[in-house]
Amino acid sequence: MSVWDDLQGQSAVVAQLRQAAEGEGLIHAWLFTGPPGSGRSNAAKAFAAALNCDQEDVTLRGCGECAACLTILGETHSDVAFVRTEKVTITIDEARELVSTAGNRPSSARWRIIVVEDADRMAERTTNVLLKAIEEPTPRTVWMLCAPSPADVLVTIRSRCRPVALRLPPADAVAALLVKRDGVDPGVAERAARAAQSHVGIARRLARDPEARERRLETVRLPLTLRGITAAVLMAEKLVKIATEEANSSNDERDAAEKIALLATLGAPESGTLPPAMRGQVKQLEEDQKRRAKRSVTDSLDRTLTDLLSFYRDVLIIQMGNAVELVNVELRSDLEDFARHSTAEVTLVRMDAINKARKRITTTNVAPLLAIESMAASLI
């Protein structure tokens, strides 16, 4: 077992990080970039474990079996902080708390490590709070920032970080990981990896949840019914409904469990009115859950539109001569029929419309339904 085992298809990155963990080229700040599903945060976590591994032999660090590796992989190590937000952005107060944490020397490990998984979700003034800490780091502190691309991080920050560029692994590598790590049937794993377009997290969800696979197939088939404005409006409603159901399916149970745990921690009475102090804490939890739900729906909509985009991607592949394998192989006959009634130029325009809708939903305050209706109308 090794901390690098989950980084499928990333041999160059593993070699770079192994070398740094052994003491060659180790610096105080790193920027992990790559498309969603490439494993940015997993790479940062593995690197953190290798840096603080208990093995004396530097060539063996990252063993995945010592106490340091296991606690870091489990995100319970006292000297390694993992920062992710379930809200729209990381706040400036959270950034200041990070800087304060980074100023402390490690209590038991070689390095105090701060892993910021959503570095792209910081406003400029929030990122500036981190700048001085990254420019003049405390000794024995290592920063690891994760973002989809270098452009998503301020140039003043990325210029002080060593880049680690990940790519999406091949679908067969993702399928092999699902079989080995999660015990998924090889056939299901192969279909899930292909449908997820090598996004490891989504592939795992599709492999383990038949309802998620059904919702995705329903999304991909929607362009086959698009014949006019009425159909476009109905398609938009359907897409928003699918995305909302997808988000709610993971949020409802979690929200209820969090509330029960909070009430138990506070020693709340089993019945009757809560004391004012407890009501305030429950209200704060509910507000946090609402913010998380908003981001969950946004992220789910983006994934749903990515699934829709795969339909037109396959159509374009067919129109260009089938140079690479299709994502939606099970719809080949429908895709070929659709491709015959269009051109590659039209398909590219439709794909651009979907990407514009994705950008509007994730970066502006536009009402999702309006953005999706506008997109659907342009797909007719």
Tell me the residue range of the domain where 178 lies: 171-208
Least confident of 10-14, 126-130, 206-210, 375-379: 126-130
Other Cβ atoms within 10 Å of 341 Cβ, number = 8
**What is the structure's pLDDT at 311?**
96
With contact defined as beta carbons under 8 Å apart, do 15 and 165 qualify? Answer: no
**Domain final residue, candidates 181, 208, 235:** 208
Confidence at 302, pLDDT banded by 50, 70, 90 = confident
**177 and 157 together in one domain:** no
**What is the structure's pLDDT at 373?**
92
Q: Is residue 4 part of a domain?
A: no
**249 and 305 together in one domain:** yes
Amino acid 7 reads: L
Whether residue 279 has pLDDT greater than 80: no
**What is the structure's pLDDT at 17?**
94
**15 and 145 together in one domain:** yes
Residue 362: which H helix or E strand, with range? helix 344-363
Whether residue 272 has pLDDT greater than 80: no
Q: State how far the Cα of 333 lies from the Cα of 311, in Å rounded to an integer.
A: 12
**270 and 159 together in one domain:** no
- List C-alpha distances in Å: 22 to 16, 49, 50, 58, 116: 10, 12, 9, 5, 23
Q: Is residue 213 part of a domain?
A: no
Other Cβ atoms within 10 Å of 305 Cβ, number = 22
Mean pLDDT (whole number) for 319-325? 87
**281 and 369 together in one domain:** yes
Q: State how far the Cα of 268 lies from the Cα of 276, in Å rounded to an integer.
A: 11
Confidence at 38, pLDDT banded by 50, 70, 90 = confident
User: Which region holds residue 292: left if phi is over 0, alpha if psi is between -120 and 50, else beta?
Assistant: alpha
Contacts of residue 349, defined as CB under 8 A and 6 or more positions apart, other chains included, come to 378
Q: In the predicted model, what is the mean pLDDT of the chain?
A: 86
Confidence at 250, pLDDT banded by 50, 70, 90 = low
**What is the structure's pLDDT at 268?**
73
Q: Is residue 2 part of a domain?
A: no
**233 and 304 together in one domain:** yes
Q: Is residue 336 part of a domain?
A: yes
Q: Report the CATH number that the domain containing residue 99 is assigned in CATH.
A: 3.40.50.300
- List C-alpha distances in Å: 230 to 241, 301, 334, 356, 373: 17, 21, 22, 21, 10
Amino acid 217 reads: L
Residue 367: which H helix or E strand, with range? none
Q: Is residue 217 part of a domain?
A: no
Mean pLDDT (whole number) for 204-219? 89
**336 and 231 together in one domain:** yes
More confident residue, 86 or 198: 198
Amino acid 100 reads: S
Other Cβ atoms within 10 Å of 369 Cβ, number = 15
**What is the structure's pLDDT at 59?**
87
**42 and 151 together in one domain:** yes
User: Which region holds residue 231: left if phi is over 0, alpha if psi is between -120 and 50, else beta?
Assistant: alpha
Q: Is residue 1 part of a domain?
A: no
pLDDT tens, residue by residue, 94-148: 888 888 888 888 888 899 999 998 888 777 778 888 888 888 878 889 999 999 8
Q: State how far the Cα of 152 lies from the Cα of 254, in Å rounded to an integer.
A: 30
Q: State how far the Cα of 157 lies from the Cα of 131, in Å rounded to an integer.
A: 6
Which tokens belong to 65?
């079996």
Q: Is residue 178 part of a domain?
A: yes
**83 and 112 together in one domain:** yes
**311 and 197 together in one domain:** no
Sign of CA dihedral 186, 190, 192, 196: positive
**156 and 192 together in one domain:** no
**151 and 199 together in one domain:** no
* Beta strand 112-116 pairing with 29-33: unpaired
Q: Is residue 5 part of a domain?
A: no
Confidence at 86, pLDDT banded by 50, 70, 90 = low
Whether residue 309 has pLDDT greater than 70: yes
Whether residue 87 has pLDDT greater than 70: no
With contact defined as beta carbons under 8 Å apart, do 345 and 369 qualify? Answer: no
> Domain tally for the chain?
3
Which tokens belong to 166?
């990940």
Contacts of residue 252, defined as CB under 8 A and 6 or more positions apart, other chains included, come to none
